[in-house]
Amino acid sequence: MSERIALFPGSFDPITKGHESVVLRALPMFDKIIIAIGSNTAKNSVFSLEKRIEWIKKTFEGYDNIEICTFNSLTIDFCKQIGAKYILRGLRNSVDFQYERNIARINQELDSEIETIFLLTKPDDAAISSSLVREILTFNGDVSKFVPEKIVITSKDLKNADSLVSMLKNEFGE
């Protein structure tokens, strides 16, 4: 029997309690979960790749069946490269579902042997998004309630606060 490997792709800019919860709840379903920070042409990251990797490693230290890596290709191609037959995605709401369903359909067209598995976030995590965490940080707010307990993220971790303010204005329509 082949190993059940799931890929949990994202920008993790930054990782949130919602991401952490999805991975931990999915662990019993898979032999291995690979958390992969991908390059997204539609997004400019606010935190350095090194910081994001550090935070994910710290969040999941002690879990031998979780790996962290980066990739710069189509998600479906990366799945083939690492032998993952599953793509793990978390859903907070119906907007996430609409968006993720379309991506899952395209991925099925690209490779019908790779399945997308959706997990609903817990109700307490449904409002948490990396975008909102970044906005709070931009104005020096405390994000400790929204990120995994093992990590501390402050506005000092932002790559460029001025560019973040501009990005947030575009993202939230201000």
Task: Give the position of tokens 């290709």.
Answer: 73
Count Cα atoms within 13 angstroms, Cβ side, for 24. 14
Burial track 135-173 (b if 16+ CB lie within 10 A, e otherwise): bbbbeeeebeebbbeebebeeebbeeeeebeebbeeeee
Closest C-alpha to 100, from 1, 10, 4, 5: 10
pLDDT at 172 over 80: no
- Name the percent of the chain lying above pLDDT 70: 89
Catalytic residue among 43, 57, 101, 122: 43
Task: Give the position of tokens 């949990």.
Answer: 8
pLDDT at 163 over 60: no
Summarised one tens digit per residue, pLDDT across range 75-89 is: 999 999 999 999 999
Closest C-alpha to 10, from 54, 56, 50: 56
Summarised one tens digit per residue, pLDDT across range 86-133 is: 999 999 999 999 999 999 999 999 999 999 999 999 999 999 999 999
Question: 12 versus 163: which is more confidently predicted?
Answer: 12
pLDDT at 173 over 80: no
DSSP string, 4-28: -EEEEEE--TT--HHHHHHHHHHGG
Catalytic residue among 11, 21, 45, 130: 130
Catalytic residue among 17, 19, 32, 51: 19
CA distance 144 to 136: 11
User: Does the active-site annotation cover 130?
Assistant: yes
pLDDT at 44: 80
Query: Residue 53 burial by CB count (10 A; 0-12/13-18/19+): exposed, middle or buried?
Result: middle
User: Does the active-site annotation cover 129?
Assistant: no
pLDDT at 158: 84
Helix residue ranges per DSSP H, 6-114:
17-26, 49-59, 75-82, 94-110
pLDDT at 167 over 70: no
